[in-house]
Amino acid sequence: MVDIDIEAMRRVIAEADVFVVRFAMIEQRLLVDTRPDADGRPYISMVPPVTSAEERYRFLRKERPDVPPPEQITVFQWPRPIAVMRELGVWAFIEDRVAGIGGEPSRRAADTAFRDGQRLERADILAAIRGGEGYQTLWERKS
Please tell me the pTM assigned to this model.
Answer: 0.90
- Which is more confidently placed, 129 or 137? 129
Cα–chain center distance at 131: 25
Calpha distance 132→110 (Å, rounded)? 29
Query: Domain range spanning residue 11?
Result: 6-130
Tell me the CA end-to-end span of the chain in Å, nearest whole number.
39
Residue 129 pLDDT: 78
Instruction: Report yes or no on 141 lying in a domain.
Output: no
Instruction: Report yes or no on 62 lying in a domain.
Output: yes
pLDDT digit string, tens, across residues 51-63: 999 999 999 999 9
Share of the chain above pLDDT 70, in %: 92
* Sheet order of strands, 29-33 included: 43-47, 29-33, 18-23, 74-78
| Statement: residue 90 has pLDDT above 60 | yes
Mean pLDDT of 104-130: 93
Residue 140 pLDDT: 67
Q: Say how many domains are in the chain.
A: 1
Mean pLDDT of 29-53: 97
* Phi, psi (deg, nearest 5) at residue 24: -75, -35
Instruction: Report yes or no on 120 lying in a domain.
Output: yes
Instruction: Report yes or no on 36 lying in a domain.
Output: yes
Residue 124 pLDDT: 87
Instruction: Report yes or no on 78 lying in a domain.
Output: yes
Instruction: Report yes or no on 113 lying in a domain.
Output: yes
Instruction: Report yes or no on 142 lying in a domain.
Output: no
Calpha distance 91→38 (Å, rounded)? 25
Instruction: Report yes or no on 139 lying in a domain.
Output: no
Residue 138 pLDDT: 66
